[in-house]
Structure 1
């Protein structure tokens, strides 16, 4: 027994001090096991993510959208964004990227590859009714090609809530421009008249020039965007409806915004083109008065904005309610022409309201008349600098042409019945 330690000292290999060192084969096997486990975990995670995206796609109405696109011959793949693309574009939906918040969701500013700036609308909650609105908006906007309608660039359906991607409009909403405390000065009358005419032109196009007539269903100043040149861009077609060729009205759940809703639609649930006319009349009155039409912002006796506006016009108090700068720019005659048009749009009986085509035509004529008056005024200023007798005779001719009244202009512009 005493000789064993001596033997170990003499031959250390015969008495190793610890476990045997791993061989190259063992290390390779360990590496394969670790790598395999990692790849298996990664593959499982990827499959779960893909399955979740597929579930969101179905939940957000993706199959319905594909069916509608296929029936209309639209390439759906050209309008689909990935969740990763939009997350990167918004810096993971950072608070600093928020352009605005609404009842249905939040709008973010995003930058796509190539430095293309877009607006990304992210819904708050999705239920069945909102999915229908969402799909509605995509299918309708995919078929509209109008310079005064916000372009829909695409959507993303593989996130928990659906995302819509629009062209970016730089100057905010008409509502913000009218009501913001940071914009104490009103829009020049020239801009107001043009914005009104452009918006009316869009509605006239939807009602009578689109392949299938479309009722917007939610016209309001916050759905009219302004670009850097104050060109109007109509947005938010979630409540819009196609009108079948054999019908003039659609029975539906009442959707819209308090203060802008057509009273007939509110009581009957029947949406018509004249519902858009009423809402547009509210926007015209809002432009003139710079007052919010929403009922709870007004005193008890003035809750009905249409009635309140009609009283202002009938009592001759509208000019007192308006910005002095606008009264000077436009003149009482043109202001009251627009006000009377607004009152016609706000008629309680839909059948007695004008069509949007008639409204757009009248606003365009008012705009042309204003341009003519400005040209005449410019000529007067230039003539004042002519020498001698030429000044007197030319001034008489210019003054005669300037006596052409707004009423005469409107009458002469209208087509006579055949």
Structure 2
């Protein structure tokens, strides 16, 4: 039996049809390109002798083809990058190696040398990564740098009187007396005061030298650095524009510039989409209106009941009332505030790229680590849900345990983990725990094996961590490993070899092939783990702008030293490398394994299962005469070269070292291809 359409609905349906036509005209007529661009952007934008620029960088010849212009006009000098309307900085090194650039600015060098307080005005406008806008922001490009230090520029009161005379505002801060103002600073402290004196500026972030022994904390100008790493952060809106064939995303406007070759296809798609939408609006509108008309009488009979029930508070659903979320316990915001003493700064355990971690104690006595995400936006919610879903379905003794979280509708996104009290591997290698020298070589060997085992378990579970680094490897009281931070992790679809996604990760650890091809694979974790192995044998940080320009990335430094058999310059001598033949054998064997992990092409890297087995063999090798004699007839598997040659990497450097192959093929180690860490 056909359902008659009431006469009053006909004008409504007709109005909906007219509205859909208007929407179609708006969509079809909406300008999708910047019509003022006269030139089609080339695929490769040259910067003279400095190489090819990659998005979002461009040169002054094609200002509309990127988000940041680089002055490449003088090939004999360093190119200048226009990072702020009032500030350009001199680049040192390649401009197409990733989302960060080494800076060596002569103007800042002059200011620091002359102890000119005017340096502070150059950096007004820079922000820390934790304060950057969301990925969907219309601000296409934002700059920051590391290492950095927070300073405040304050007007003088009564001549040279300090503004924090009673330490009300700048507790533990040092001040420098300039001619017309005061500069307050605290080297090595990332926490910004909750309030500052009304005569002072907002926080200003300036580049500083890396922490080291003997640094004079009381001399402001000895802390400043004219060589530092500049990071750029491109919004997801602009990255998507570029990936879809666009050339630019105008700052503050969000418009996507499409090349002339893409205009016809884009317009045709708009016409098709508009037609389909118009028809769909009409059909859906008719169905909805008929449905509403049929329910009107039924609903009217329930109105008295609905009015009564809506006034009852118990009938309203509390979005935070659930006890589980993806299988994880749900905590209320109030109980976590109480556990952390209102997020007391003294309980802060760490400050990462996505949030701050606090030590807390629950009402049941459990000690916990509470991660407080910086922003409550779409991207943070997705990372929050991603980490909860992954950790609730994984169980491994070397993965951190997630106790629970707040509801994603909570006023803040909070994750609650087991408390791991012994810091991170990075803290012990070159952080505040390094001076205790607790990471002996056997401990480091065990850390490598347990971390590799955890990553192998993830890969068997079709999970790619995507942010393997020493700051995400926690240590308990027995120095057992707990791998943490799964906010960037990705699930590998069934029977898939990779995930196509925009590169994310930490500078110094990102797989170069992933950065170039936008294809995330399990071998991307292998590359990052190779950097961790080098950190374990060298005690050096993954990125250090104080090193030579070609060795700022530890991966580049390691490849260079290993190829030239310069182990004395790579392996930490405090491990016993020079006095213990067993340690020398193991550290150089781990160096070989790291070398294989750091191959530029993923096919030349081992799997995590192979890495676990190799590390166990290195650890369990017995240095007795019988074993040495037997191993004289054995060959260790070398990393393959592009031609498939088998090259013995260690014996060529140490022909008398026990446990190594006696066959010397070459005097230098050969990499499968050049290693360029992004």
User: Which among 400, 403, 410 is matched to residue 159 of structure 1?
Assistant: 410
Write out aligned runs for 1:124-143 (5 A). 124-143=374-393
More strand, by proportion: 2
Q: Does structure 2 retain, via aligned residues, the 8 Å contact 1:191–1:230?
A: yes
1:295 CA displacement: 5.6
Deviations 1:133-152 (A, max 9, x none): 11100000001100000000
The question of 1:300 aligning with 2:300 is answered no
Q: Work out the number of aligned pairs and report it.
A: 319
Q: Does structure 2 retain, via aligned residues, the 8 Å contact 1:152–1:167?
A: yes
Q: Which residue of 2 aligns with 1:338?
A: 590
Structure 2 stretches lacking a partner, 5+ long: 1-312, 638-658, 660-678
- How many Å separate the matches in 1 of 2:477 and 2:518? 38
1:206 CA displacement: 1.1
The question of 1:176 aligning with 2:176 is answered no
- How many Å separate the matches in 2 of 1:310 and 1:100? 31
Q: Which residue of 1 aligns with 2:532?
A: 283
**Secondary structure at 1:331's aligned position in 2?**
helix
The question of 1:102 aligning with 2:352 is answered yes
- How many Å separate the matches in 2 of 1:134 and 1:186? 34
**Secondary structure at 2:434's aligned position in 1?**
coil
**Secondary structure at 1:177's aligned position in 2?**
helix
Q: Greater relative contact order: 1 or 2 (C-alpha under 8 angstroms, separation 6 or more)?
A: 1
Q: 1:285 to 1:171 in 2, by over 3 A?
A: same
Write out aligned runs for 1:34-113 (5 A). 54=319, 69=326, 74=327, 79-113=329-363
* Structure number, greater radius of gyration: 1
- How many Å separate the matches in 2 of 1:238 and 1:171? 22
1:113 CA displacement: 2.1
- How many Å separate the matches in 2 of 1:141 and 1:181? 29
Structure 1 stretches lacking a partner, 5+ long: 1-46, 377-398, 413-418
Q: Which residue of 2 aligns with 1:265?
A: 514
Q: 1:297 to 1:133 in 2, by over 3 A?
A: farther
- How many Å separate the matches in 2 of 1:224 and 1:406? 37
- How many Å separate the matches in 1 of 2:522 and 2:433? 35
Q: Which residue of 1 aligns with 2:488?
A: 239
Q: Which residue of 2 aligns with 1:355?
A: 607
Q: Does structure 2 retain, via aligned residues, the 8 Å contact 1:186–1:323?
A: no
- How many Å separate the matches in 1 of 2:470 and 2:596? 19
Deviations 1:100-119 (A, max 9, x none): 11121111111112321110
1:409 CA displacement: 9.7
- How many Å separate the matches in 2 of 1:286 and 1:177? 11
- How many Å separate the matches in 1 of 2:633 and 2:452? 21
Q: Does structure 2 retain, via aligned residues, the 8 Å contact 1:333–1:406?
A: no
TM-score, length basis structure 2 = 0.44
- How many Å separate the matches in 2 of 1:289 and 1:400? 31
Deviations 1:287-330 (A, max 9, x none): 11111112645331213432210111122222344332311454
Q: Does structure 2 retain, via aligned residues, the 8 Å contact 1:206–1:214?
A: yes
Q: Which residue of 2 aligns with 1:188?
A: 440
The question of 1:366 aligning with 2:618 is answered yes
Q: Does structure 2 retain, via aligned residues, the 8 Å contact 1:259–1:295?
A: no
Q: Does structure 1 retain, via aligned residues, the 8 Å contact 2:561–2:569?
A: no
Deviations 1:144-191 (A, max 9, x none): 100000000000135322000000001110011101254232611101
Q: Does structure 2 retain, via aligned residues, the 8 Å contact 1:319–1:332?
A: no
- How many Å separate the matches in 2 of 1:407 and 1:111? 58
Q: What RMSD, in angstroms, separates the aligned Cα atoms of the two structures? A: 2.6
Deviations 1:71-114 (A, max 9, x none): xxx4x5xx101112111111111112111111211111111123
**Secondary structure at 1:342's aligned position in 2?**
helix
TM-score, length basis structure 1 = 0.71
- How many Å separate the matches in 2 of 1:406 and 1:279? 33
1:254 CA displacement: 1.7
Q: Does structure 1 retain, via aligned residues, the 8 Å contact 2:540–2:554?
A: no
User: Which among 123, 140, 145 is matched to residue 395 of structure 2?
Assistant: 145
The question of 1:400 aligning with 2:631 is answered no
- How many Å separate the matches in 1 of 2:354 and 2:586? 38
- How many Å separate the matches in 2 of 1:172 and 1:104? 18
Q: Which residue of 1 aligns with 2:213?
A: none
User: Which among 203, 207, 214 is matched to residue 459 of structure 2?
Assistant: 207
Q: Which residue of 2 aligns with 1:256?
A: 505
The question of 1:123 aligning with 2:349 is answered no
